[in-house]
Chain A
């Protein structure tokens, strides 16, 4: 049994190559099926996200040829020239596969260190492969362990607690003031990419009321349809500003769009209830003097970048803790793998010894005529019992061995000492 992994990610491949080698759900299912029917892999799982495409499998043979066959298959499946694809691919075997997957699900291999989405993507890929019977006992165990590692890293370290994106950092800050945002309202000025990111974050938090405004009313209406918001007329600030608890501005203007006097009027209209402002425009859309107003919390792009940077450093300091958890689970998985191998090895050893015992008795008793068939059977049975007794204690001792390295070494020693290459499982 050998685990194999062939894949590429944002570190090894440019986005153009990653786009060509990504798998849709159907493609992943088809590839897994073909790889098994062609005998390249025994068990298969395809993990494809925007930053990585990886094929995990169990090699039916003890050699490493399947990795090359897998590379060739990927090249053929996605119709990408091998000379373009191969330099971007990485190959991992056995324990390195375990380590890589565990690090992936822990978020240690993500572009955004500790991101939470990857755990969901690993889970989804596993459930999909499991439903299609593409996985077997080894990959089931491996991916269940990977999901456990991911969960523990997020629960026991600070790796995933602090926001890493500008938009999510802003939303987390708003939650520091209001708590849950589901009974709050927000106004988004602008309809660009940044505004879209913010709206997405607001929708993720089930914002109560979403108001949108933009110079181009059509664009605002398009956004409103897409995100179930309400359009507010551009420029009618006195009406628009008294509605929301959160205001996000990301438009291109030369002079501040929202002045101190406008916010003062809005605060007076809303009875000084706290107001959270996110200025994501460059140059700034909101007069910085607004920050000094009572119960007004203004964060500019620069402030939010600073917070994200603080969080990045904080997350980096959590990496050793996460790595220690990964190593702990690698040890557990290797131990399980060694136990499974030991069971298989003992079965092969027992049947090999039985064959040799039968051949031995045949040879030695061939010239002896005074033994009846029943006697010969009894002698054979006694020899089998003796062999079983001889095997029981070492097998128990090996199973109980807690040191993974020693266990694996012992398994290898038995394999080398008692079995020929042909007989090795």
Chain B
């Protein structure tokens, strides 16, 4: 799937122009008037409703494919997922235009963007590995993120020194993409552990016969972690560049930096250990799940309670 370059530019420009137009800094609880009034405007929910419907239908077809194994059902599921991606993108775009800011400026947009990137990563992985059965397990996670995003109170980031510009936009987008890839590897690792357990216990129901082979799940998880590692490394590097460009005295320390570096190191360790004799298989999968718990902590507890500059990403 290719997103038109013009749309990407427009998407990235939103964060940039907002700050150019309304002055340099946005203080805690002091949004400029036009932007503040934009938050109060009722949003057009057509695209998000279409997105949820498409994802729900896709999940239904993925589950049907898992049980019946009919190729046609699987294709319909993939098609619906693709449609969901398109409408989800439109929903993010409409929202960004409505609020005159980037999606990750608040928790709602940030989670919705995470869901979209997770869906993109999964679809790429499905096409690359030609394996559809994972869809039934990934879609509930995506839907959970979208539902949570639209259930939480709608308020913008109140960071005192919100950076801006293309570098910053790329930093955030790549970081969220990395989280999405790690979430996907967590789902795959959980599937691996469950299937392995069923095989050891000789409990082979209808679904187990249709799940991907253990080694394929392992490979898919590796691919996903590799994507996550590359994007989080690039995203973190860009983050330091963005901090450097901040006016005034940039803050070079934030607990988020430490946790992110720890996440990066742990995933790099997973990537290396998963190829060694001692860790290959179930142990590596458990490590992958553990790493994702840390990602979730970084995304929630660290962002909300410890970080000064990373509220919602």
Contacts and interface: CB of A to CB of B under 8 A. Distances in A.
Interface stretch (A23-31, A98-106, A269-277, A373-381): A269-277
A155 B72 CA distance: 11
A307 B211 CA distance: 17
B290 interface: no
A177 B206 contact: no
Contact of A162 (B202, B209, B215, B277): B209
Contact of A272 (B204, B209, B211, B278): B278
Contacts of B202: 299, 303, 306-307
A179 B215 contact: yes
Contacts of A295: 280-282
Contact of B206 (A173, A291, A303, A314): A314
Contact of B199 (A173, A294, A314): A173
Interface residues of B, number: 23
Interface residues of A, number: 27
Contacts of A274: 214-215, 281
A176 interface: yes
Nearest to A180: B213
Contacts of A155: 70
Interface string B198-217: 01101010101101111110
Given A177-B214, A178-B215, A274-B215, A158 B206 contact: yes
Q: Please report whether the interface of chain B is mostly helix, strand, loop or mixed according to DSSP.
A: loop
Interface in A87-113: none
Nearest to B280: A272
A310 to B, nearest CB: 7
B281 A178 contact: no
A294 B204 contact: no
Contact of B281 (A173, A294, A299): A294
Nearest to A300: B202
A172 interface: yes
Interface in B251-277: 276-277
Contacts of A176: 195, 199, 208-209, 211, 213-214
Contact of B209 (A161, A179, A297, A306): A161
Interface of B: 69-70, 195, 199-200, 202, 204, 206, 208-209, 211-216, 276-278, 280-283
8 contacts: A158-B206, A162-B209, A172-B209, A175-B213, A176-B199, A176-B214, A179-B212, A297-B199
Interface of A: 155-156, 158, 161-162, 172-173, 175-179, 268, 271-274, 291, 294-295, 297, 299, 303, 306-307, 310, 314
